[in-house]
Amino acid sequence: MTILEFVSEFPEEQSCKEHFKAKREKEGVCCKSCKSNALYWLQGEWQWQCKHCSFRTTLRSGSMMENSNLPFRTWYLAIAFMSYSKKGISAHEMRRQFNNLRYATFWSLMHRIRNSMGHRDAMYSLEGMVEFDEGYFEKTTPAGIKLKRGKGSVKQQNVAVMAESIPLESLETGKKNKAVRYFKMQVLNSHKKEAVNQTV
């Protein structure tokens, strides 16, 4: 989805709420009190109610937006910015885009979005032909904090990079298609062979 499509699909708060409700219902909403999945929607209240114990679940409850007062559209826009930005977007930049709301607000919002994306990622396994490599990401320390002399201000983080491609043969040319479908990355805490093998 491009930014233009995003703006036309989610022009205001209501469209985001409707979309979020549909998404949650597709995944299945669970009653926090009795763990039942039999809930029905109370239209005027914007809440689900449990058929068994009558416990109510708000649209945000049990989601990454729980306990947040930010509009749904702010969350949606933040997710969009984070997925459109090739190089990643900082909480400072995000805050600037939202008329300088509190930095801590955006730091926490982005943290929750990343967590939720990571959690979703962990639910999928790669299949077919998987290529593996090790890579390094640079971690810069926050401004004002200096590392010990000689260590510089940049730390390197070792990560495993795995790419999945499905080697299907083309019916016309007989050539194998090696287009990559999914990537997975995981932080490696050790360089030892056993640890790397475990990750793989």
Q: Which chain residues interact with Zn ion by CB under 5 A?
A: 31, 33-34, 36, 50, 52-53, 55
- Cβ-based nearer residue to Zn ion, 51 or 111: 51
Measured CA distances, 104 to 16, 64, 68, 133 (Å): 23, 16, 13, 35
- Least Å distance, CB 169 to Zn ion, is 52
- Least Å distance, CB 30 to Zn ion, is 9
- Least Å distance, CB 29 to Zn ion, is 11
- Cβ-based nearer residue to Zn ion, 52 or 178: 52
- Least Å distance, CB 38 to Zn ion, is 8
Please name the residues in contact with 113: beta carbons below 8 A apart, sequence gap of 6 or more.
Answer: 64, 75, 78, 79, 82
- Cβ-based nearer residue to Zn ion, 31 or 109: 31
- Cβ-based nearer residue to Zn ion, 59 or 113: 59
- Cβ-based nearer residue to Zn ion, 50 or 109: 50
Scan for tokens 């669970």, then name that residue.
30
Quote the distance between the C-alpha of residue 188 and its chain's center: 20
Q: Parallel, antiparallel, or unpaired for β 47-50 and 56-58?
A: antiparallel
- Least Å distance, CB 42 to Zn ion, is 14
Distance from C-alpha of 100 to C-alpha of 190, rounded to nearest angstrom: 40
Measured CA distances, 167 to 36, 124, 133, 181 (Å): 42, 19, 18, 11
Distance from C-alpha of 74 to C-alpha of 91, rounded to nearest angstrom: 13
